[in-house]
Structure 1
Amino acid sequence: MKGTKERKDKEQPGGERNRVLELILKKPYEMELRESTVLPRPSGDEVKIRLIYGGICGTDLSVFKGTIHYATYPVRPGHELLGTIVEAGEKARYPVGTRVVVLPNTFCGQCDKCRIGKTNICRHKKSLGINTDGGFSQEFVISSRFVLPVPAELPDEKAILIEPFAVVVHAFQKVNVNKDTSVAVIGCGTEGTLAVLLASHLGAEVTAIDINPAKLDMVKGMAPHVRTLHTEQCAGQSFDVVIEAAGAKDSIETGMKLVTPGGSMVLIGITQETRFPVAHVVRNELTLYGSIIYTFPDDFLETMQYLSNDQFQVEPVVSKVMPVSEFRQAFENASSGSFGKIILDFRGA
């Protein structure tokens, strides 16, 4: 993606300047909506995308609060991105008019990890909205390697969930979840809620666990058949598969105690460290998996298949769609823990 500095010196042919509104996080807790510097025409394999929706996720909130050590400032936030190609370079993979979702984690395609298909752990990965400019702008330019067309049958309100849901789809590939599986999901933010819905869709007996009663109520409203437990009610419980989506030290330690002997735990959430009960893991022959983002495009394509299924209802995951002009309230709502996914609407900004 074109960085802020690179945009300063470019003009459209004929001297026309193409300026758009963009969000800029100047430093933690200091964000503004401003008119951008000059936006270039796409060249080579690049495309210019006019943004439809941008989802606010926990990572955006962490960058906003300054708690990610490798974040750089100033930075344009945003990595859950749905838009339409409005201009295309001569070598772009997709034509003007294509509605696309964006891969927000770039990969080099050349390192040892990329060569074996593990682009999610590319040694030269950059993350949009964290250590390079993201997409919370009316328009932005990016290589067409990192976009994927969205099926026509997917409405915008479902399509904006492709990127966060792909995280869950990738994690579920590490375990076998079916009608004979008991699954506990710890943490009922967006990723956790999507994990609950996917496990339920696959026929598992699902229990959602959180410390926030409001989040448990939201899950119950979306999936009445799912059992919900406060973390303090977990004593004596055991599950074939535990999905940790809270990214908290205590929830990881709780989760390892909940895995039945011979069972598995998948870590989606991220925390710096935790106490590791080696004897418990060894004696019960537990399997622990770490799962980071997704492989592209395979996990995105599988995610689209789930979302295209009319029986898979995920729309309630989105609590609010708010105009980008209300970004301060949107970030406040997203930080409160009282809402599901908050979406910024960039149309007509």
Structure 2
Amino acid sequence: MWELYLNKPHDMVLRKVERQPPLKDDEVKIQLIYGGICGSDLRVFKGNLKHASYPIRAGHEVLGRVVEKGKDVKYEIGTRVVLLPNTFCGECDLCSAGKTNICRHKKSLGINTDGGFIEELIVPSKYVLPIPDDVPDNKAILIEPFAVIVHAFKKVNIMKDRSVAIVGCGNEGMLAAVLAHYLGAHVTAMDINPAKLEMVRNLGDIRTAHPNEINGETFDIVIEAAGTRQSIERGLQMVNPGGEMVLIGMTQEASFPVTHFVRNELTLYGSIIYHYPSDFLQSIEYLRDHRFNVNDIISRIVPFTKFREAYEWALSGDYGKILLDFRGGCDG
């Protein structure tokens, strides 16, 4: 059995795993189908995430099938599942308040505990969710990253004819643009990369623009998904008086125009990951609808043994989601 292991930033290898421990009563073994490369995976790879630990097995976006289960597990062998890659204790004050996404003892796979890019993964069954048969693999792998957007959108009222700006068209930004469009909003998606704007145009009747082309225009809701100081500061100037902005991208700091913020009575939300399983279940319901177009968000699917090329494509910023296919095995 093989795994993708990050010894230190920029030093990823394909490593053989000789054996795994026996399953506990509440655990499942998942045989991977796909692993998705996420922006946080790239930050860990580059050494740009302060709370990352090394060495560590990479990855957290996982789709697979249950091939073995402990005696207390209700799922049947063969069940197709996605993974919740963020643990929660269920006991701290935040978990007790239903805020498991910001659990005080949270661990994140592929960041500060071993991740999911291994041919067969063992996890507690409470962290896997079965997928309906009518959600194909190429949509199912998007459930977890899409749940990030589902969670963020619950903070604001995106509806028909409201104006929504999406700042940054990485994977999360593209998903946000598709959902806002699906909900009937007038969507403007912005990015500095023309290739990303072309991808967004393929997803629906969505206006696209370089940020420099937006001169003085404001929007009811701004979704910041680029995670740069400049995009946050510029995004705040794009919010209508009385409007709202949601930050899902992350940067260390940005300047905050307090007078502008107060005088215009703006509302600013931070949003991190999701609530489980509710945001996952809502994500699945959207993806089940054939009108919800995410077909072009996935750019390439490659065998996991070609991880170096896959990470290079993802790091280039010129592609959508890059998937690693774990079904073919490895000759070593």
Q: Residues 67-86 of structure 1: matches in 2 within 5 Å?
A: 67-86=48-67
In structure 2, what is the equivalent of residue 45 of structure 1? 26
Query: Quick one: which amino acid aligns to residue 259 of structure 1?
Result: V
Q: Percent identity?
A: 61
In structure 2, what is the equivalent of residue 118 of structure 1? 99
Deviations 1:292-314 (A, max 9, x none): 00000000000000000111111
In structure 1, what is the equivalent of residue 268 of structure 2? 288
In structure 1, what is the equivalent of residue 315 of structure 2? 335
Choose from 304, 324, 332 the match for 1:324.
Answer: 304
In structure 2, what is the equivalent of residue 16 of structure 1? none
Paired residues of 2:299 and 2:322 also in contact (CA < 8 A): yes
In structure 1, what is the equivalent of residue 36 of structure 2? 55
In structure 2, what is the equivalent of residue 256 of structure 1? 236
Query: Quick one: which amino acid aligns to residue 57 of structure 2?
Result: R
Query: Quick one: which amino acid aligns to residue 213 of structure 1?
Result: P
1:103 positional shift: 0.2
In 1, the alpha carbon distance for the partners of 2:231 and 2:306 equals 33
Query: Quick one: which amino acid aligns to residue 235 of structure 2?
Result: G
In 1, the alpha carbon distance for the partners of 2:83 and 2:255 equals 36
* 2:201 is the counterpart of 1:220: yes
* 2:13 is the counterpart of 1:27: no
Choose from 158, 169, 172 the match for 1:188.
Answer: 169
In structure 2, what is the equivalent of residue 231 of structure 1? 211
Query: Quick one: which amino acid aligns to residue 106 of structure 1?
Result: T
1:348 positional shift: 1.8
Paired residues of 2:160 and 2:185 also in contact (CA < 8 A): yes
1:128 positional shift: 0.2
In structure 2, what is the equivalent of residue 156 of structure 1? 137
In 2, the alpha carbon distance for the partners of 1:219 and 1:117 equals 34
Paired residues of 1:39 and 1:140 also in contact (CA < 8 A): no
In structure 2, what is the equivalent of residue 14 of structure 1? none
Cα RMSD between the aligned structures?
Answer: 0.7
Deviations 1:134-176 (A, max 9, x none): 0100001000011100111100000000000000000000000
SS at match of 1:81: strand
Choose from 270, 278, 281 the match for 1:298.
Answer: 278
SS at match of 1:315: coil
Q: May I ask how many residue pairs the two structures share in their alignment? A: 329
* 2:72 is the counterpart of 1:91: yes
In 1, the alpha carbon distance for the partners of 2:63 and 2:172 equals 18
In 2, the alpha carbon distance for the partners of 1:134 and 1:24 equals 9
In 1, the alpha carbon distance for the partners of 2:328 and 2:298 equals 21
Scaled by the length of structure 1, the TM-score of the pair is 0.93
In 1, the alpha carbon distance for the partners of 2:159 and 2:48 equals 37
Query: Quick one: which amino acid aligns to residue 318 of structure 2?
Result: S
Could you tell me which runs of 5 or more consecutive residues in structure 2 were left unpaired when the two chains were aligned.
none
1:199 positional shift: 0.2
1:217 positional shift: 1.3
1:93 positional shift: 3.5
Paired residues of 1:41 and 1:87 also in contact (CA < 8 A): no
Query: Quick one: which amino acid aligns to residue 145 of structure 1?
Result: K
Deviations 1:310-335 (A, max 9, x none): 11111210000100011000000000
SS at match of 2:129: strand
1:95 positional shift: 2.2
1:59 positional shift: 0.4
Deviations 1:241-271 (A, max 9, x none): 0000000000000100000000000000011
Runs of 4+ in 1 over 2 A off after TM superposition: none
Choose from 170, 178, 184 the match for 1:197.
Answer: 178
1:71 positional shift: 0.7
1:119 positional shift: 0.4
Paired residues of 1:51 and 1:83 also in contact (CA < 8 A): yes
SS at match of 1:203: coil
1:94 positional shift: 1.6
Q: Which moved more, 1:139-148 or 1:40-49?
A: 40-49
SS at match of 1:59: helix
